Structure 1
Amino acid sequence: MRSKFEVVVAATGTLLSIAQLRTAAGLSGTDTSRDTELQDLGKRVAAEIAIACRVRGDGVAEPTLLAETVRDTFRETGCDTDLFLSRLFASSISSIVEAGNTLAATDTYVDGGAGIVRRISGTRDLRWRRGEIVIEYVAGFTTVPSDLIGIAMDLCRLRLSADAVDPLERATTITIPDVETRRIERWVGAVPGSSAGPLPDDIMNRLGRYITPSFAA
């Protein structure tokens, strides 16, 4: 069931610190000469990762994997035992209101990593009551996981490398005096056999655990 989704308190911060962005660019930790460019790149890469991970947005705040307070509103018909949150990695549930009644924590089971909320009574699973169900929760990361930092840094390096090359230049000639002249050709456009997705295959594979399943998107 798809919910109405809202961002209540938007995330602050970025996936990569300026120090990490400088490292990705091959700069020393004290070299501030490209900070503006790198901060823009960091935002671009974070947005690309969020899109690749199918992170849901509300049309106002930019989708992110960082922690923020969000709200899902479901129109329940009384048939479901599981509700699928719009965002994964729910670290805390602020409130769950079922048909006007606020539920106690013992009335629900929450799998925050998978983004699943189940109505329970003791050891029994129950169906959600017919009507509006509003779930407010915090989802995303306060501390960015090490593997996600590595992925973002590698994507930054990839983008910096691509930006340094003329995308329309099919070939170039390199001459080493008294040694050789070498012609190097580049593929213009998508590389045959490469990913048709938003990011290269190796990046997408590493992002696997962060990608929102289609049933929760």
Structure 2
Amino acid sequence: MALDIITTIVTPAAKADLVTLTDVKTELEITGTAADTWLNKVISRASAAAAQYCNRTLVQEVVKDEFWPGRDGYPWVLPGGVAPLQLTRWPVTAVDSVLENGIALSDPADYRRQPGTGHLIRLDGNSWPRKWPALPIVVQYTAGYSPIPDDLQDAVIRMVKARWFLRQRDPLLRQEETPGVYSATYWVSTGADGAITPDVADLLDNYRVPVAFA
């Protein structure tokens, strides 16, 4: 069944950074504050690149999803619905409200939630799973990672670390030699400015949402 979804951010995250400046400086063994401005900028860029690679928002926010299940026109109104209801963000840490055609539902009497996947399962009068009806459904909830998982932090730290060590040399230089006058080899995959290297991709792949292309 076709399903139109409108997502609204109710309470945005204060910052979208996936790692703290303190943790990055500890990794790089930096004690001073001279590079803090640069590091903060690169942390934000690397965090944005990681979220973009994963095709999802990773930090915790309060959002509202409005679902509009498709149905045939009168008199052929489609009686079926959606099972289960997939929220646009996960993991889900709290559900503030669920409205079905304007009527408030309660957990666990009317539905159950699967926090890790963002699934909402509609229940019938006997507490058995059933389809959500082809009616407007509005869900307000809190979703995202808090705290950020260690492997996500590790991925962003690796991206920032690569940028740190690329500051003092040509980032495209792969190899150079002196005998015979001079020779140099360059490459493009540097890890700079959010480029995802294989080791970082390996850490992020568990959080990535596949994108289907028509």
Write the mapping of 1:1-217 to structure 2, written as runs, cut at 5 A: 1-13=3-15, 14-28=17-31, 31-55=32-56, 64-77=57-70, 78-106=80-108, 107-121=110-124, 122-167=126-171, 169=173, 172-173=176-177, 185-190=184-189, 199-214=196-211
Partner residue in 2 for 1:59: none
Describe the superposition over 1:90-137 as per-residue Cα deviations: whole angstroms up to 9, x where unpaired: 111111111111101121121121121111134421111222111111
Residues 7 and 68, structure 1, Cα contact 8 Å, conserved in 2: yes
Residues 67 and 137, structure 2, Cα contact 8 Å, conserved in 1: yes
Distance 1:168 1:190 in 2: 8
Q: CA deviation at 1:208?
A: 2.7
Unaligned regions of 5+ residues in structure 1, if any? Answer: 56-63, 175-179, 192-197
AA at the equivalent of 2:146: T
Distance 1:18 1:138 in 2: 25
> What is the TM-score with the length of structure 2 in the denominator?
0.79
Describe the superposition over 1:8-39 as per-residue Cα deviations: whole angstroms up to 9, x where unpaired: 100124322221121343312xx111000000
Distance 2:147 2:91 in 1: 12
Give secondary structure in 1 for the equivalent of 2:66: strand
Unaligned regions of 5+ residues in structure 2, if any? Answer: 71-79
Q: CA deviation at 1:161?
A: 3.0
Distance of aligned partners of 1:54 and 1:182 in 2 relative to their CA distance in 1, 3 Å threshold: farther
Distance of aligned partners of 1:165 and 1:120 in 2 relative to their CA distance in 1, 3 Å threshold: farther
Give secondary structure in 1 for the equivalent of 2:62: strand
RMSD (Å), alpha carbons: 2.8
Distance 1:114 1:21 in 2: 30
